[in-house]
Amino acid sequence: EAQVTQNPRYLITVTGKKLTVTCSQNMNHEYMSWYRQDPGLGLRQIYYSMNVEVTDKGDVPEGYKVSRKEKRNFPLILESPSPNQTSLYFCASSPRLAGAPGETQYFGPGTRLLVL
Amino acid sequence: KQEVTQIPAALSVPEGENLVLNCSFTDSAIYNLQWFRQDPGKGLTSLLLIQSSQREQTSGRLNASLDKSSGRSTLYIAASQPGDSATYLCAVTGGSYIPTFGRGTSLIVHP
């Protein structure tokens, strides 16, 4: 089954404790991205990657890191989480850049993060 | 900077009604506009994708139109059903290739 998976689905942590949220897709997509969703603010893109070893900042990259060593995986790293990073996080993938003709993004189920 | 507004924010209707959800955007220089559905506890599911050169797209009971010059899109849902209850999001993508999402319309269709 074609899908985007994220782990963990739920995470409670404390300020400053490094964490990684994994994202994996089995559709051989080149493009992957991370979003956060907050009440009243909607979905905002954190980082995106156009292919292996190619990443770029989205609208809200501060406090986050990403890496793209393999095509299928795109982990999101919070080196020193803070309470303002409490949010619902989504990973997404698409065959090519969002905006390219005919492209659509496929979203993972989300990771709900609480930073105390 | 692109801004996307969705009206209404919430909608509750009886089953069987035809619905119109609205999305407006401030910068008409877009590549495409996409409508998503989000169910509680789940990710987003793409419903319809309209390229900037297109005026509308249809899928089953759903029809989305795009008027780029006026910065508007509408999602029309025919003969609504309780299973249509969800949050509907619209997103536009322009030259930055970073999609800008609206805050969504929360729809409840009651039997």
Alpha-carbon distance A5 to nearest alpha carbon in chain B (angstroms): 10
Number of H helices, E strands in chain A: 0, 11
Count of beta carbons in the 10 Å neighbourhood of residue B100: 23
Could you tell me which residues come within 8 angstroms of residue A1 by beta carbon, excluding any fewer than 6 positions away? none
Per-residue pLDDT, A100 = 55
Question: Which carries the bigger pLDDT value, residue A101 or residue B76?
Answer: B76
**What residue of B is the nearest CA neighbor of A46?**
B98
Considering only CB atoms, A42 lies closest to which of B32, B98, B104, namely B104
Q: For B66-94, give one letter per residue: b (16+ CB within 10 A) or e.
A: bebeebbbbbebeebeeebbbbbbbbbbb
Contacts of residue B51 in chain A, CB cutoff 8 Å? Answer: 101-102
Residues 6-35 of A with CB under 8 A from B: none
Q: Indicate yes or no: CB of B103 within 8 angstroms of CB of A45.
A: no
Substitution target in B98, B100, B105, B106 with the highest count of A β-carbons within 10 Å is B98
Confidence band of A98 (pLDDT split at 50, 70, 90): low
Q: How confident is the model over B25-70, as pLDDT tens digits?
A: 999 999 889 999 999 878 899 999 998 889 999 999 999 999 999 9
Could you tell me which residues come within 8 angstroms of residue A8 by beta carbon, excluding any fewer than 6 positions away? A21, A111
Q: How confident is the model over A41-84, as pLDDT tens digits?
A: 889 999 999 889 999 999 999 999 999 999 999 999 999 999 99
DSSP 3-state assignment of A85?
helix
A4 touches chain B (CB under 8 A): yes
A67 touches chain B (CB under 8 A): no
Ordered strands of the A4-7 beta sheet: A4-7, A19-25, A76-78, A65-66
Confidence band of B97 (pLDDT split at 50, 70, 90): confident
C-alpha span between A31 and B46 (Å, rounded)? 16
Q: How far is CA B49 from CA A7, A13, B11, B52, B58, in A?
A: 28, 37, 23, 10, 9
